[in-house]
């Protein structure tokens, strides 16, 4: 089974509107973390936001927020007030294991977001 | 803001040649990683490194691959005898902690092209 699933085809959003990018995950660990990264066409990987499995509040970071539904094993990224510079590939990733682990990130296939002016 | 630096940005190599990709992690970070991304595909884990030894490696990281931290600042990935299928973007990442909420910070990548 895929550990991280991102199934949306390319997403389009009008500038200044909000958009939700879906991510579901699969793990048997109790302690894990979920990350979102942005990859613009230039290729670099930019960290956006983190949600821990024990965090009771949904993470927020500026225009980014994470809709974390633990029972459904979903961690959707919400981008509010989209900007043209948000056009990029977005990857959801998971790190399993608690304190003391040196855990790799497992990535989903990514979602392409295009913001229309 | 401190960042992970990778050199070169693009490397073109003949098949069968050795290649070394270089990374300078963020200076106070202790956990280091290499990932690769074949064009248009997802990012795949290669190896993690802590306390001067490999913590974990993937199936991709076979005997042709090795990592080294030769001094206090550099972290290198060596591919001994490159194959066509090694063509990919290689990302180095570092983290202040191997768990919890500290993200892995990625370099801008080295695009490796094998001819």
Closest-CA residue of chain B to A109: B42
Q: How far is A44 from chain B (nearest CA, A)?
A: 4
Local confidence pLDDT in tens for the 117 residues of chain A: 679 999 998 999 999 999 999 999 999 988 899 999 999 999 999 999 999 999 889 999 999 999 999 999 999 999 999 999 999 999 999 998 776 667 899 999 999 999 999
Which residues of chain B make contact with A37, given a CB cutoff of 8 A? Answer: 106
Q: d(Cα A47, Cα A66) in Å, to the nearest integer?
A: 13
Give pLDDT, residue B103: 87
Pairing state of beta strands B110-114 and B10-13? parallel
Which residues of chain A make contact with B45, given a CB cutoff of 8 A? Answer: 104-106
Distances (CA, A) of A58 to A26, A27, A71, A74: 19, 19, 14, 12
A vs B: CB pairs below 8 A: 72
| B44: Cα separation from own chain's centroid | 11
Residue B65 forms contact with A (CB below 8 Å): no
Give the tens place of pLDDT for each residue, B33-76.
999 999 888 899 999 999 899 999 999 999 999 999 988 789 99
Q: How far is A70 from chain B (nearest CA, A)?
A: 17
Q: How far is B2 from chain A (nearest CA, A)?
A: 13
Q: d(Cα B13, Cα B6) in Å, to the nearest integer?
A: 17
A105:B45 CB<8 A = yes
B109, exposed or middle or buried, with CB in 10 Å at 0-12, 13-18, 19+? buried
Q: d(Cα A21, Cα B33) in Å, to the nearest integer?
A: 26
Which residue of B55, B56, B106 is in closest CB contact with A45? B106
A43:B89 CB<8 A = yes
Strand partners, A79: A19, A64
Which residues of chain B make contact with A35, given a CB cutoff of 8 A? Answer: 103-104
Phi and psi torsions of B75, nearest 5°? -140, 120
Which residues of chain A make contact with B101, given a CB cutoff of 8 A? Answer: 33, 50, 52
Q: d(Cα A63, Cα A38) in Å, to the nearest integer?
A: 13
- Among residues A109, A110, A111, A20, the alpha carbon closest in space to that of A69 is found at A20
Residue B100 pLDDT level (bands cut at 50, 70, 90): confident
- Among residues A54, A85, A50, A84, the alpha carbon closest in space to that of A70 is found at A54
Q: Check: CB of residue B87 under 8 Å from CB of residue B114.
A: yes
């Amino acid at each position: 089974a895929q550990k991280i699933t991102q199934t949306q085809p390319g997403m389009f959003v009008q500038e200044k509107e909000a958009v939700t990018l879906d991510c579901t995950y699969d793990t048997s660990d109790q302690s894990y973390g979920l990350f979102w990264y942005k990859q613009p066409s230039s290729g670099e990987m930019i960290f956006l936001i983190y949600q821990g499995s024990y965090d009771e509040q949904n993470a927020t970071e500026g225009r980014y927020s994470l809709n974390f539904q633990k029972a459904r094993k979903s961690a959707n990224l919400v981008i509010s007030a989209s900007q043209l510079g948000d056009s990029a590939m977005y990857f959801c990733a998971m790190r399993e294991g608690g304190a003391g682990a040196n855990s790799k990130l497992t990535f989903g296939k990514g979602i392409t977001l295009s913001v229309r002016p | 803001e401190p960042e992970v630096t990778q050199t070169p940005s693009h490397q073109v190599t003949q098949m069968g040649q050795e290649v070394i990709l270089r990374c300078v992690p963020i200076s106070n970070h202790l956990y280091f990683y290499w990932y690769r991304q074949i064009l248009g595909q997802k990012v795949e884990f290669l190896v993690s490194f802590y306390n001067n030894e490999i913590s974990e490696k993937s199936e991709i990281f076979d005997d042709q691959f090795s990592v080294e931290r030769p001094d206090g600042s550099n972290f290198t990935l060596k591919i001994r005898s490159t194959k066509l299928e090694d063509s990919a973007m290689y990302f180095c990442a570092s983290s202040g902690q191997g768990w919890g909420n500290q993200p892995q910070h990625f370099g801008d990548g080295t695009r490796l092209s094998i001819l």
